Amino acid sequence: MFKVLNKETVAPQVDALIVDAPYIAGHAKAGNFIVLRIHEKGERIPLTIADSDLDKGTITLLFQKIGKTTEELGTLKKGDKIRDIAGPLGHDTPVKKYGHAVLVGGGIGSATLFPILKALKEKRNKVTVILGARNKELLVWEERFAEYADKTILTTDDGSSGKKGLVTEALKEVADSTKVDVVLAVGPIRMMQAVAELTRPFNLKTYVSLNPVMVEGTGMCGACRVSIAGKTKFACIDGPEFDAHDVDFEEIAHRLNFYKDEEAESLEKFKKKKCKGKCKKQ
Amino acid sequence: MRARDPEKRKHDFKEVALGLTEKQAIKEANRCIQCKKPMCITGCPVEINIPAFISAIRDEDITGGLAIIRKYNMLPAICGRVCPQENQCQGKCVLGKKKTPISIGALERFVADYEMKKGLSQKTKMSRSNGHRVAVIGAGPAGLTVAADLARHGYKITIFEALHEAGGVLTYGIPEFRLPQKIIDREVEYVKSLGVEIKLNWVIGRTQTVDELFGEGYKAVFVGVGAGSPRYMNIPGENLNNVYFASEYLTRVNLLKANQFPKYDTPVKRGKQVAVVGAGNVAMDAARTAARLGAEKVYIVYRRTRTEMPARLEEVEHAHEEGIELLFLSSPKEIIGDERGHVKAIRCDAMKLCEPDASGRKRPECSGDEFILEVDQVLMAIGQASNPILTKSVKGLKLWGAGYIEVDEEGRTNLPGIFAGGDIATGAATVISAMGAGKRAARAIDDYVMGRKKAKSKEPELAESKK
Ligand SMILES: Cc1cc2nc3c(=O)[nH]c(=O)nc-3n(C[C@H](O)[C@H](O)[C@H](O)COP(=O)(O)OP(=O)(O)OC[C@H]3O[C@@H](n4cnc5c(N)ncnc54)[C@H](O)[C@@H]3O)c2cc1C
Ligand SMILES: Cc1cc2nc3c(=O)[nH]c(=O)nc-3n(C[C@H](O)[C@H](O)[C@H](O)COP(=O)(O)OP(=O)(O)OC[C@H]3O[C@@H](n4cnc5c(N)ncnc54)[C@H](O)[C@@H]3O)c2cc1C
Ligand code: SF4
Ligand code: SF4
Ligand code: FES
């Protein structure tokens, strides 16, 4: 059992939980994730370790409420317990002295980037962070990033904060005006794909963090398989970060849609139960 | 052995094989001629004194029979159900030469179930605590055996298990209709009753390293992490939607109860026309699970023939009775998808068998013909490879083949204090061989921690070897 020590609402539909997990906190590296199961009947889902505190023995999970399990996770309060958390899992992000690194985060994807930013700064890189969202409300943790990054650029689709436009446009401007040594992008599949296409012609080293469906997260089931340069890889042990220019984005997009019907059914059932049939029709 | 009616059982997950009644068991026990040189024992990887336990059944001393088995085998209710007896004990029984061999597995199961039914509990002689701690990695049959044997001998044992449930393949792989979870739970509870602590959600190599365990005062480490990683064929279409590796499919159903979705949160896709590639126990389990999830037609696609099938005989028969169609001499070469990336068919080469090669096995070869099978789901069950998280995390650990740990007869690795056994040392094998390896390793660990040069006893039962 893992105790929730604190809960925070970060943005509409985005919550953060601080959880007591000293062994995981003690071994977490940038790019790692955990797999959790809230209770006996729950699904195992992966979430990035968005932050960890070695002294306090805690990890922070930042998640977007998009389905049954994340909605339910959002109902947990300080003092509640999560039945299972296994981790840290996944490869560590290859952190070294690159020179100038650009981190590109779309929506909740930024959570993954925070520990990477800290690790890159420890290695004395110059780091530019580009965070994008549909509007001002949906930007997460921009102040935290600004604290560590050399430069933080915000973009929104509607211009309610930062520049109006897409993260790729901001990335292009940065790449056009300064030398960039590495790009790391995390966010929706199509956003990561757009970043990959943007940097491909320049042969600019680009990593993306893939988010396929996972089951156990330790390389034993193959649920998370992705095609990288034509070869099958398991994202939970070979990734989740891969060279963006080798990723088969169409395949992963298809695979992410596989359980659409079941996900909708599960969420609807959960919402009905939560309000015991007294909810207003939406 | 008695089994439930195929027409009924293929719609649910309740146990298929019913086991013997007391009367039947005694009758079967009476058929045993109590050989002077019992060949059956040579077929059992842990060398259970088979005639002795059968003789106890004959004398209607069922619990006495169990006591005999338990000296050699900690998990009789499990082995009686899942051992490939036809290649092991029963395969060697002299009666098999002329007529039917003794149903040793069924008798073993009867004895173990008898205790459970009568609500009797297993009594264990425990040695006094010796204060030494040993870490066991993986709560499968190998790890549970090492833990129980050493605990009985006075060691303080902690098992570290990556998943949220103990049991290894018994829990996440072998389906409920073949091995009910309550039987595994009972055995795990028994191991805990010996004072063994099980830490779940604990991935050694990540949550903690082996070096850290030694640092915490563990005197030795046993690695029993299994061969959990699925193999794939590298044919086009393997990553289409509705192509599952059997391990994922079975994990969803057995560990996460996806057959009860949406009561349980984990979903699994229910195929209508299902092709299962492979012919081992895993393939049979996947096929029979698909039938229970409502498939109209399930095919086993195998490139050799019936005689080469590695699955247990009983499972092949049960699968056949449940309407699963066996397609031999068929080798998949492509999985064909539709525009949404879903499976719609599988293309196979028709094979023929050539003259036996050096290993004596007939090799399949393309006949030049091919055929297409229209299916909406494909389950790949062509074998397991080693599980890399732990092995990669231990510097200098000597491996062989596809990443298996190299060990000697007693489970010693090339590194002092680190022992290994079960599937991670042999490649995918059987429950009883994993347990046998665990028993030998437990003895070697005892010798190592106590600083003995040679094994002090050749007796099979560690805890019985003294006091
Ligand atoms: C390595 C990794 C790290 C991740 N980190 C974060 C994070 O820090 N914050 C965050 O909000 N999300 C993260 N995700 C995504 C997160 O796991 C899914 O949002 C979550 O599983 C959705 O579950 P649900 O029941 O709420 O929604 P569902 O309705 O079940 O699914 C909604 C979406 O999530 C995907 N999904 C469903 N089940 C799984 C599963 N078992 N594994 C992976 N994806 C699934 C589906 O494809 C679908 O697109 C990460 C995913 C991976 C693989
Ligand atoms: C579907 C299926 C059906 C089978 N049917 C039969 C049968 O009928 N008869 C038979 O005799 N055999 C059968 N087998 C084979 C048999 O189950 C295995 O040979 C046996 O379970 C091996 O035992 P083990 O203890 O070596 O490993 P496993 O049972 O694989 O257990 C290993 C455990 O270690 C854990 N682990 C892995 N990595 C780590 C880590 N880094 N840290 C902590 N824990 C870790 C795993 O989660 C797992 O629980 C079957 C196998 C499968 C998959
Ligand atoms: S453990 Fe397996 S091989 Fe040995 S006697 Fe029992 S059923 Fe036969
Ligand atoms: S070989 Fe067969 S008949 Fe002989 S002792 Fe063993 S079980 Fe009995
Ligand atoms: S989640 Fe099972 S292999 Fe990656």
Domains of chain B by range and CATH? 2-117 (1.10.1060.10), 133-228+386-449 (3.50.50.60), 232-384 (3.50.50.60)
Q: What is the pLDDT of residue B466?
A: 35
How do residues A118-162 score in pLDDT, each as one tens digit?
999 999 999 999 999 888 888 888 888 999 999 999 999 888 888
What is the DSSP code (8-state) at residue B118?
T
Looking at the partner chain, which of B201, B234, B247 has a beta carbon nearest the beta carbon of A85?
B201
A81 vs B: CB within 8 A: no
How confident is the model over A191-228, as pLDDT tens digits? 999 999 999 998 999 999 999 999 999 999 999 999 99
H/E stretch holding B273: strand B273-277
Taking residue A159's Cβ as centre, other Cβ atoms within 10 Å add up to 12
Contact indicator for B321, B414 with CB cutoff of 8 Å: no
Could you say which DSSP state residue A221 is in?
Answer: S
Spatial distance between the Cα atoms of B325 and A233, rounded to a whole number of angstroms: 32
**B391: chain A residues, CB-CB within 8 Å:** none
Looking at residues B55-61, what average pLDDT do you find? 94
Task: Please tell me the predicted confidence (pLDDT) of residue B1.
Answer: 66
Distance (Å, rounded) from C-alpha B436 to C-alpha A104? 53
pLDDT of residue A276: 64
Are B162 and A259 an interchain contact pair (Cβ–Cβ within 8 Å)?
Answer: no
Q: How far is A83 from chain B (nearest CA, A)?
A: 9
Mean pLDDT of the region B232-240: 92
- Report the gap between the CA of A47 and the closest CA in chain B (Å): 15
For residue A221, give the nearest of B164, B230, B241 by CB distance. Answer: B230
Sheet containing strand A14-20, strands side by side = A51-53, A58-64, A14-20, A2-11, A81-82
Task: Choose the closest CB to B341 out of A254, A262, A265.
Answer: A254
Instruction: Please state, as a whole number, how many other Cβ atoms lie within 10 Å of the Cβ of residue B3.
Output: 15
Give me the long-range contacts of B99-103 (CB less than 8 A, separation at least 24): B102/B28, B102/B31, B102/B32, B102/B40, B102/B54, B103/B1, B103/B20, B103/B28
With a 6 Å cutoff on the Cβ, whether A54 touches ligand 5 is no
Instruction: List, in order, residues 6 or more apart from A75 with CB less than 8 Å away.
Output: A274
For residue B360, give every residue at least 6 positions away whose Cβ sits within 8 Å of its Cβ, in sequence order, or none: none
- Atom 2 (ligand 4) nearest CA: B93
- pLDDT, average across residues A20-30: 95
pLDDT tens-place string over residues B131-163: 999 999 999 999 999 999 999 999 999 999 999
Q: Which of B176, B213, B281 to mutate to test the pocket of ligand 2 (most atoms within 8 A of CB)?
A: B281
Does B203 sit within 8 Å of A87, measured CB to CB?
Answer: yes
Q: What is the mean pLDDT of chain B?
A: 91
Residue A252 to chain B, least CA–CA distance (Å): 9
**Distance (Å) from the alpha carbon of A96 to chain B's nearest alpha carbon:** 21
Contact between B104 and B90 (Cβ < 8 Å): yes
**Residue B150, CA distances (Å) to A63, B434, B463, B464 in order:** 43, 16, 8, 11
Helix, strand, or coil (residue B314): helix
Residue nearest to atom 8 of ligand 3 (CA): B89
Q: Identify the closest residue of chain A to B160 by CA–CA distance.
A: A86
Q: Residues B370-377: what's their mean pLDDT?
A: 94
Cross-chain Cβ contact B230/A44 below 8 Å: no
Instruction: Inform me whether the pLDDT recorded for B361 exceeds 80.
Output: no
Tell me the count of A-B CB pairs closer than 8 A.
Answer: 112
**Among A233-237, B57-61, B360-364, which stretch is predicted with the lowest mean pLDDT?**
B360-364
**Amino acid residing at A88:** P
Q: Which of A87-91, B131-135, B304-308, B353-357 has the lowest mean pLDDT?
A: B353-357
pLDDT 10s digits, A45-102: 999 999 999 999 999 999 999 999 999 999 999 999 999 999 999 999 999 999 999 9
On the question of pLDDT at A185 being above 70, the answer is: yes
Whether residue B467 has pLDDT greater than 70? no
| Position B112 pLDDT exceeds 60 | yes
B340 pLDDT band, cuts 50/70/90, is confident
Report whether pLDDT(B179) > 50: yes
Helices B104-117, B50-58: axis angle to 10 degrees equals 60
- Which residues of chain A does B171 touch, with a Cβ-Cβ cutoff of 8 Å? none
> What pLDDT sits at residue B122?
67
pTM of the model: 0.92
- What's the average model confidence in pLDDT over B271-288? 95
Instruction: Report the atom number in ligand 2 closest to the C-alpha of B166.
Output: 49
- CA B194–ligand 3 middle distance (angstroms): 24
The complex's ipTM works out to 0.92
Q: Which two tokens stand for residue A94?
A: 């290859």
- At residue A107 the predicted structure's pLDDT band, cuts being 50, 70 and 90, is confident
Give pLDDT, residue A140.
85
Q: Three-class SS of residue B103?
A: coil
Nearest to A87 among B207, B241, B340 (CB): B207
pLDDT digits (tens, 9 = 90+) for B186-235: 889 989 999 999 999 999 999 999 999 999 999 999 999 999 899 988 89
Question: B421-461, pLDDT tens digit by residue?
Answer: 999 999 989 999 999 999 999 999 999 999 987 654 444 44
pLDDT of residue B463: 43
Measure A217 CA to nearest chain B CA, in Å: 10
Residues A237 and A218: beta-carbon distance below 8 Å: yes
How many DSSP H helices and E strands does chain B contain? 19, 17
For β-strands B377-380 and B218-223, DSSP reports them as unpaired
pLDDT at B347 over 90: yes
Cα–Cα distance, B385 to B195 (Å, whole number) = 33
- Ligand 4 within 6 A of B383 CB? no
**Is the Cβ pair B239, A88 closer than 8 Å?**
no
Pick the more confident residue, A109 or B250. B250
Distance A59 CA to ligand 2 centre (A): 31
Judge whether A137 is closer than 8 Å to chain B, CB to CB. Answer: no
Q: What is the pLDDT of residue B460?
A: 45
Percent of all residues in chain B with a pLDDT value above 70, rounded to a whole number = 97
The answer to whether the CB of A98 falls within 8 A of the CB of A121 is no
Nearest-Cα residue of chain B relative to residue A226: B239
Query: Chain A contacts of B238, Cβ < 8 Å?
Result: 232
Return all residues near B67 (Cβ < 8 A) that are at least 6 apart: none
Q: Which of B185, B206, B389 to mutate to test the interface with A (most CBs of A within 10 A)?
A: B206
Chain B positions touching A266 (Cβ under 8 A) are 261-262, 265, 267
Confidence band (pLDDT; 50, 70, 90) for A281? very low
Q: What is the pLDDT of residue B465?
A: 37
Q: Which residues of B244-258 are buried (b: 16+ CB within 10 A; e: fewer)?
A: bbbbbbbbbbbbbbb
pLDDT band at residue A187, thresholds of 50, 70 and 90? very high
**Are the C-beta atoms of residues A35 and A86 closer than 8 Å to each other?**
yes
Q: What is the pLDDT of residue B452?
A: 86
Question: Quick count: other Cβ atoms within 10 Å of Cβ B310?
Answer: 18
- Give the pLDDT band of residue B118 (cuts 50, 70, 90): confident
**Cβ(B40) to ligand 4 under 6 A?**
yes
Q: CB-based contact (8 Å) between B208 and chain A? A: yes
The three-state secondary structure class of A15 is strand
CA B369 to chain centre: 36
Task: Report yes or no: B261 at the A interface, CB cutoff 8 Å.
Answer: yes
Residue A116 half-sphere exposure, CB side, CA atoms within 13 Å?
A: 32
Q: Using a CB–CB cutoff of 8 Å, tell me whether A255 touches chain B.
A: yes
Rounded percentage of chain B residues whose pLDDT exceeds 90: 74
- How many Å apart are CA B467 and CA B459, to the nearest integer? 13
Distance B169 CA to ligand 2 centre (A): 4
Mean residue pLDDT of chain A comes to: 91
What gap in Å lies between CA A267 and CA A72, rounded to an integer? 9
Residues in chain A: 282
